[in-house]
Structure 1
């Protein structure tokens, strides 16, 4: 593919927030047919990751609309990572979606991005709309309460109290940082407290060898989703990244199926 294709161009920037809270959010958008795709990345990941790049290439080949972006404090976006919260990143996702894509959209959320996707879907439904479909990869909604806080050591709790953040070694790169603000804000954004009405088809892909988000978490999420229109794919040897060739092919197949289903629904 030519380096001049849209997926390889420098990012554009969108200002989100006001005053001292204003930050420049980097994004890349490709125009094309709807339903478009919006990529919502994971905690401490960026829009140049393997899965996001694979979807960008797929959308370019198929002529679909597609947008990916970096949350503030991530990748090419501005702002300190430690300032990030679910509310802050949801605001950025909503702003990027409004500025870049029109018409039906499929939200593709990876890990923490699935939490953002569910919050975004709820906001869209509250305004009288909703996504065309959801694809959730190794979904980690409510991860601060369910996956982080229960596993904090005494030393990490002491750091949260004294410094406002704590760290944890990561096999993917620099240590993970968890701030008190992130954890407290997470409590205001919980989605797994009752039935989750998405109003659209949902496909979840979850690795059973995921060391970060146990597949029991995906099962808990499925139990809260309406029975109709929910597909769960458990990958027996899949890890958290789901970035092997077979995982990427599985993601592409899921996107194609969700687009086809959404097009049928929208044409009625």
Structure 2
């Protein structure tokens, strides 16, 4: 289904298309050879996928998600909407079918993604404040993940000056995560938006955090990593940015500071400047 893109795939699921008809659609695309190489006899793979996913396609679940969204002031934005961030199309087949948005997306372009460690130091907090202020002076919004540490410093700095900032969630927008950042994220909705590709009620998981990182990278014209450990999720975001041709910056720290190991590696290996 990846070779058809998220919107077409969703349309086919809603229409209850058969595995054979979906297979024929795939064969008619430029991705036919890729599908053969990746899945072999992919009609049977599609059949297995349909058997797993169709039972989860519930009209009631959709209606419930819309009710929960309305209750918390969220809306569903799709690719045809005027406020849809066109930069997401750079994700190709990974472009989300839509976004659940709590706030206003209007000021999201242009923007820069700033991410980093969940255990920020005073130095990292200072760097975030300086970057956010410099970008705000130039009319550039910031995007981050709403988590502890560097993410929180980014949003806090932007909110303090009333600058547009956007937080991409790894769960539904109806319940802010982490809950201790609820007030901070509520302020984000006043200056920008909290958004997610997952419906209201979805709970954050490790895989969903990694999945949402591609959205952070695509929403920004560039990605800046401020303090990141060797295996930080921020490195994953930087890799996504690099894969779609976005510039990546990494802020160096003290050579003995473990919270900057990831930044130093990005610079050392030529992935960031």
TM-score w.r.t. the length of structure 2 is 0.27
> Which is strand-richer, 1 or 2?
1
> Which structure has the highest helix share of the two?
2
